[in-house]
Amino acid sequence: MPRQEKEDTYLSYNGFPVILENAIDDYTGRAVCEYDNGYIYTGEFKNGSWHGEGTLRYTNGDVYEGEWKNGQRHGQGKFTYADGDYYNGNWKNSLEHGRGILSQDGIITQGRWSKGKLKREFNSKSNAPQP
């Protein structure tokens, strides 16, 4: 079990240690952390930050599954909104950046993003049923 200052910070969830927010400061390894705002992160930490593979569940039902770097979405990942819309692709500094696929309001768009904005569209099609 990873070293921690407080003995009462450990519970177990599917084989992962559960760390309370006030004890995560310099933790490195895999764990589950539930935050005071209701967010739940399951995955890898480095020096107390989300780093590596992980999943963040937001209180509104949104979910991000993918790669993290120093607490930010970075690398390959999928952000799924509570309504089912999603962006699946590359991220940099928590913004869509690089190739990706956006599904929004029944329209699927493939393209290249830069700093969170669609810069070049490769393909777009409706996912809605045709009459």
pLDDT per residue, tens digit, the chain (131 aa), is 343 444 444 455 555 667 666 667 788 888 888 888 999 999 999 998 999 999 999 999 999 999 999 999 999 999 999 999 999 999 999 999 999 999 999 999 999 999 999 999 887 777 655 44
37 token code pair: 């705002």
Report helix, strand or coil for 38.
coil
DSSP string, 40-107: EEEEEEETTEEEEEEEEE-TTS-EEEEEEETTEEEEEEEEE-TTS-EEEEEEETTEEEEEEEEEETTE
- The amino acid occupying position 78 is K
- The amino acid occupying position 65 is E
Domain boundaries, the chain: 7-59, 76-130
* pTM attached to this predicted model: 0.81
